[in-house]
Amino acid sequence: MQIMNASRDTVVRTLTCAVFGIGLFAPAAAHAQSGEPIARTEFTAAYAGEAKLALTASAPGTEWGTAGKESAMLEVAVDGKPVTNVVTFNGAVPLEYDLALGRVSAGKHEITVKVDAAKSPSLQAEVTSMKPSMAPEGDVVARYAPILYGRNLPEIPGAFENANTDVPMLAYHVASADAQGNRVIEYTVIWSNEDGGTNTPSLMARWGRTTDIEWFYRVTVDAQGNRITDAFQALNHGTEAFNGVREDDHPLIQVSSSNNNMTAVTDVATSTGYRFFLATDEVLPPNRAREAMMDAHPWSYLVMAKEVAREGRIEAIADPATLAMSDQRNYLFAEVAKTTRYATPPRAGSWAGTALAAKVGGVWYTSHHNSASISIERDLPAATTIELPPGSTPKDIEAIKAIAVPNGAPGDYSIDVTSLNRGFLLGTDYLPTGSFVNWVGKQTLTPQRTEALLWENRNVVGGAVGGTVPATLALTLGTAPSFGAFTPGVAQTYTTGTIADVTSSAGDAALTVSDPGHLSNGAFSLPEPLLVQFSKSAWTGPVSHDSVAIDFTQRIGANDALRTGSYSKTLTFTLSTQTP
């Protein structure tokens, strides 16, 4: 892309539509009724190993927060073999889904994507980008990454239920060494929700979210990367040696409970029939709670909040004095690090918990709603939330303190609170705003000193402030589109597309394109003209990062003579205004 010119009132971008011979993304029709792929691409593996795919997809007309219209279920295949499903939980907004594809041989491969109509709430889906890649040679994390079969429980309405609830959103791993120096790799998945197990208010107080985060596979390997032992998280949070089916070195595991515990797949024919092969190369940062992986993917909070609302688990009138769940935009999302010690081990059922409290309008609001059993017991960095009065902003939060919460008779104890790693609110769009809380120190809680002030709001203050907006017209074009390879002698309509990002401070704006004309290859031009369509081309007010789909259509007739080589056309896209 090249910037041709830019002024206050007009911005112009050029884009070359080219045809290449290999390694191309070629989208097709977005409707699923034909069962044909909606996108395909080719890639060449330089070596035999584990393949990955960054798939950007959306499902027009779907909304995760609306029952019956939650998503589209996609199926991704490599060389015609289905390898993973994808649930488009981000709805009509394109999102990059990071996937594993399994082991492939060296050489050329084809990846196709289609809507899995039998499992999908919606039959409409679009793929805007496919970026295949290979894991580094010898990458044992990718080699042993598990394949997770979806959930089909009789107590949950509907088949293929992960298309509308408890969808596996992302996965990561942590690595450590055992006593013999062998490498231990543990894989964890984050689901959008937890239908069973811990209730919603307890999840918010003890874990700081309503998603479900569970380790689901653990493997120990030697210095050469060979598997020594492996296990998975079984029903009732048990740990069992894996004794199921593998694809190459990938264990097949199935979600088998409403709180997302698992069983080994021993026969694919009796499995649930749909599965998720998530990329696992991301690593949990050291000395952080598991929820830090959600922080790294802010959209996970949006999906979480929409599912809670759709399932009717929010109280009608928000009240921080009640234990009932409120709109998640009314909570401070915090993370605390602490260490607990006892003079003598407490008896079973007794322990010293910790809660956080935030002061708003002179009133202290606690994370555990004064219910001792849902205070924080674990000493790992722990996420929690504090329900605040609706409409609270960062400047309204005056201070944060830690509170010791005895459960039963824990005896003599001390709790060293050493950090608040973050604190943020969700915006009106349910996405995290920036963290405005950070504290490092040491405050010790004891039976004699049950509270300690950790943080006072000195960096978020109110006050009159203003600013000016410069006249802005900004147009950014996405990846150059390609139709793939044209087939001589075959009548066919080829489609492709890209995305334009539009930002304007003007009172109106219009997006136009120069005459598309005909794709040409030197002196040879295609008989049929290139067609260009916008999903939106006019704005009646300011706009920021509005995404516009640009669709390209090229008709090739059976008798059209095609010259060997690449056909292309340079187009000029213009964003202009009459009222700057």
Complete domains list, the chain, with CATH: 2-20+482-576 (2.60.40), 22-137 (2.60.120.260), 138-313 (no CATH), 314-456 (2.60.60)
Q: What is the pLDDT of residue 359?
A: 97
Instruction: Compute how many other C-beta atoms are within 10 angstroms of the C-beta atom of residue 229.
Output: 13
Structure tokens at 418: 């050493």
Query: In the numeric block, which tokens belong to residue 225?
Result: 């990367």
Residue environment code for 247-273, b if the CB has 16+ CB neighbours within 10 A, otherwise e: eebbbbbbbbbbbbbbbbbeeeeebbb
Strand 492-504: give its sheet, edge to edge: 473-477, 492-504, 543-556, 531-534
* Sequence-separated (6 or more) residues with CB below 8 Å from residue 26: 39, 40, 41, 482, 483, 484, 494, 496
Beta bridge partners of 176: 184
Give the Cα separation of 164 and 121 in Å (integer).
8
Strand-pair partners of 96: 56
Q: Distance between CA atoms of 250 and 99, rounded to whole angstroms?
A: 14
Length of the chain: 580
Predicted confidence at residue 437, as pLDDT, reads: 95
Using CA atoms, how far residue 45 sits from 105, 345, 380, in Å, is 7, 57, 41
CB atoms within 10 A of CB 109: 17
pLDDT for the residue 519:
94
Distance CA 364, CA 356 (A): 10
Total Cβ atoms within 10 A of residue 566? 16
Closest CA to 289 of 432, 190, 178, 433: 190
pLDDT score for 465: 75
Q: Which of 222, 121, 152, 224 is nearest to 181 (CA)?
A: 222
Tell me the three-class secondary structure of 386-410, residue by residue.
EECCCCCCHHHEEEEEEEEEEECCC
Q: What is the CA radius of gyration of the chain?
A: 27
Q: What's the start-to-end Cα distance of the chain, in Å?
A: 25
The greatest distance separating any two alpha carbons of the chain, rounded to the nearest whole angstrom, comes to 91
pLDDT value of residue 17? 35
Give the pLDDT confidence score for residue 197 in this predicted structure.
Answer: 85
Query: CB–CB of 447/410 below 8 Å?
Result: no
- Predicted pLDDT at 579: 87
> 257 by DSSP, 3-state: which?
coil
Those residues of the chain that have pLDDT short of 70 are 1-34, 459-464
- Coil vs helix vs strand at 437: coil
> Residue 435: how many CA atoms within 13 Å on its side-chain side?
14
Three-state secondary-structure class, residue 143 = helix
Contacts of 202 (CB under 8 A, 6+ apart): 373, 374
Name residue 549's beta-bridge partners: 499
3-state secondary structure 452-464: EEEEECCCCCCCC
* Partners of 534 in the β-ladder: 550
Residues 6 or more apart from 7 whose CB is under 8 A from it?
none
Classified as helix, coil or strand, 474 is strand
pTM: 0.76
H/E stretch holding 513: strand 509-513
The answer to whether residues 207 and 182 touch, using CB atoms and an 8 Å cutoff, is: no
Q: What are the strands of the beta sheet with 382-387, ordered from one edge?
A: 382-387, 331-342, 413-424, 439-445
